[in-house]
Every structure is written in C-alpha cells, then in structure tokens.
C-alpha cells in the first residue's frame, strides 16, 4: 500500500475502522519496521531524502535505523530511544492548474490529509500537487513536535482516528493511502454533489399506485 501505520511506533495498533477504504495494496499495514518498501534500503532512502530538502537525510537515516532495529518476531526495537526532530519536507515540484484548483476545492470543502513528516507516501502525495498548491493543501501533521519514544499523536489526528499515513477525509469518506489526482477529484465531486430533491408526498403516492 502507499500508506504507513500511525501506531505508537514501538508496537502495532488495532486494524483500521470498519468502512475505511484502503488505497492500493495492503502489504505495508504493519508496525514501523515495515514503514514502506522504499525504506528497506537505507542508502536509497537517504539519497532520496537528501534531494527533498535540508535535514531530511538525517530523518531518513533514523527511519532506516528504526526499520533495521524492529523485527516482526521480536516486537522490540533496539532503536526505540532514537528521536526524530520535526523537519518539514520541501516540496519542489511544479503545480499544474488542475492541482492548484483541486487543493483550493479540497480546502473549501473541509477535506483533510493527515500525515507524518517522516512518511514517504505523504511526501509523494504533496509532490503530486506541487509547490504552488501547498498554500491551500489541506494537510494536518500528526507529529508536529517530532517523534521520540512515548510521544502521542496530535489531538486532531487522534480525534480523526488516524491509523495509517496518509489518511484522507473527504466528506464522510475516509481513505487510507496515497491517491491519484483523478481519485481525489472523484471523491471530492461525490462529497460536494448537491443532494437530490426530496420527493413530494403526492408524487410518492402516485408512484406507489
């Protein structure tokens, strides 16, 4: 999948709430040792992060250390005492008119994308929108003070019952994972479509005869 878990980082949390849509495949919904496939090679992750903005290389290295330190059979992290100071990834792609307009529409509709600064899929989602769209992009950071052992997820993310990154909330639809622009437009169109007019009692009675 293109999402990662929002668990207390030293142990898994419960599965997603019933009714939540999971975008793409489901193979990365595990504790932090499976943050995502991209982090399996520390050198690759560090090189990618270095191109994303100052300070991200150190965060990537820490994530890689956490990945190595966790194991699916141990449930214990040898890197549990490491800390990740908050570093905002730099979005350096160019926005299109479509993504600028979509970001504004999402904000106006009250949509939210909940994420974490160390989440590569959250970063990639922002990159799809581009730099110019970020002023309206409805992003909510779930670890604004950084991460260390025992840190709590932000209140807004807790209230939204976020269990994976990114999590999109558009209208009443909750979707976990990175989404294509076309998918976001479809969800937004469905959430903002005018309600069908109520059928009059006379018409209802006539239809029942």
* pLDDT confidence of residue 78: 38
Q: Looking at the predicted structure, is the pLDDT value of residue 85 above 80? A: yes
Cβ distance 183 to 128 under 8 Å?
A: no
- 102-131 pLDDT per residue, tens: 999 999 999 999 999 999 999 999 999 999
- 172-182 pLDDT per residue, tens: 999 999 999 99
Q: Return the higher-pLDDT residue of 70 and 163.
A: 163
- 33-62 pLDDT per residue, tens: 334 444 444 445 445 554 554 445 555 555
SS3 for 113? strand
Burial class (CB in 10 A: 0-12, 13-18, 19+), 182: exposed
Block residue for tokens 């699916």:
72
Q: How far apart are the first and last CA of the chain?
A: 51
* pLDDT confidence of residue 20: 63
Task: Round to whole Å and give the CA distance between 181 and 44.
Answer: 26
- 166-205 pLDDT per residue, tens: 999 999 999 999 999 999 999 999 999 987 666 566 655 6
Best CA proximity match to 96, nearest among 124, 132, 126, 121: 132
Give the Å distances, CA to CA, from 101 to 36, 97, 109, 123: 30, 6, 12, 19
Burial class (CB in 10 A: 0-12, 13-18, 19+), 59: buried
E strand spans, the chain: 4-5, 21-22, 112-115, 139-141, 164-165, 167-170, 173-176
Q: Which of 31-35, 147-151, 154-158, 203-207 has the highest mean pLDDT?
A: 154-158
Please state, as a whole number, how many other Cβ atoms lie within 10 Å of the Cβ of residue 209.
4
Best CA proximity match to 49, nearest among 61, 40, 37: 61
Task: Give 81's pLDDT tier (boundaries 50, 70, 90).
Answer: low
């Amino acid at each position: 999948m293109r999402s990662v878990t929002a668990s207390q980082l030293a142990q898994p949390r419960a599965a997603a709430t019933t009714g939540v849509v999971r975008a793409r495949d489901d193979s990365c919904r595990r504790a932090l040792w499976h943050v995502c496939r991209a982090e399996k090679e520390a050198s690759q992750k560090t090189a990618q992060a270095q191109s994303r903005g100052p300070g991200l290389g150190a965060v990537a290295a820490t994530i890689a250390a956490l990945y190595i330190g966790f194991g699916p059979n141990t449930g214990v992290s040898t890197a549990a005492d490491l800390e990740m100071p908050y570093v905002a990834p730099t979005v350096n792609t160019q926005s299109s008119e479509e993504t600028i307009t979509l970001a504004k529409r999402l904000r106006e509709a009250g949509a939210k994308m909940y994420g974490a600064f160390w989440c590569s899929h959250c970063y990639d989602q922002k990159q799809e929108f581009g730099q110019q769209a970020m002023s309206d992009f409805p992003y909510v950071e779930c670890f604004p003070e950084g991460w260390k052992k025992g840190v709590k997820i932000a209140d807004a993310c807790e209230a939204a019952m976020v269990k994976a990154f990114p999590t999109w909330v558009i209208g009443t639809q909750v979707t976990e994972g990175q989404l294509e622009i076309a998918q976001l437009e479809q969800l937004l169109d469905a959430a903002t479509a005018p309600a069908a007019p109520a059928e009059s009692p006379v018409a209802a009675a006539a239809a029942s005869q």
